[in-house]
Chain A
């Protein structure tokens, strides 16, 4: 099993930068995903990290430190449309689990204000 913690809510201003943190505890780490979920809609994939370091994709970047059990999602040049929930999900390998499941955190609800 694993624990995944992320802040429940964050508020930021349009045009600013915001960092959403995620900490996890797992015995067989095999990757971390970030998903974006607008209210009433399905989650959509943002990023995947399996090695330490920063992955950059346009305005979004994701960082991973496996030794610290820590990741963050960085959103630059915030836009109003970035108001959404951001879900951290960890993939864990255990025993003969061929499914290699994802466990999701509770999500961080980000509100972008003008």
Chain B
């Protein structure tokens, strides 16, 4: 079946502009995560959605970052007034069921969106 998809695959934007990144999780996966990966670095957790519950926003680096998940499926990560330090690959992942109930279930990652802020 289809995996996690993300769009666009690449985005170049000017400093100060807003950007929207999209994630389509695997159908039926209730958990959705956003991560950021800077060049040569590990994954930095940004935000987590589980079903209809309030999202865990504890990883968002500033109030310029926000995310929504509509209808429990597609998610959009928005970065306002982009800065050069926002340049990174933004990865989305989904997993089946709540990781609280099913901690062994792995996350499936999308191919990422490479964001470059000039």
Interface core residue of A33, A42, A91, A105 (most chain B CB under 10 Å): A42
A7 at interface (Cβ–Cβ under 8 A)? no
Instruction: State which size class the interface on B falls in.
Output: 20 to 34
Interface core residue of B99, B108, B112 (most chain A CB under 10 Å): B99
Flag if B45 contacts A106 (CB, 8 Å): no
Contacts of B41 in A (CB 8 A): 106-107
Per-position contact with A for B13-40: 1 when CB-CB < 8 Å, else 0?
0000000000000000000010100001
Contacts of A50 in B (CB 8 A): 103-104
A30 at interface (Cβ–Cβ under 8 A)? yes
Of all chain B residues, which has the CB nearest A89?
B43
CA distance A33 to B43 in the complex (A): 13
Flag if A102 contacts B53 (CB, 8 Å): no
B83 at interface (Cβ–Cβ under 8 A)? no
- A42, A44, A48, A104: the one within 8 Å of B42 (CB): A104
- A33, A87, A100: the one within 8 Å of B100 (CB): A100
Besides A89-B43, A107-B42, 12 new A-B residue pairs in contact (Cβ under 8 A), listed by A number: A31-B104, A87-B43, A99-B50, A99-B56, A99-B100, A100-B99, A100-B103, A101-B48, A102-B99, A102-B107, A104-B44, A106-B41
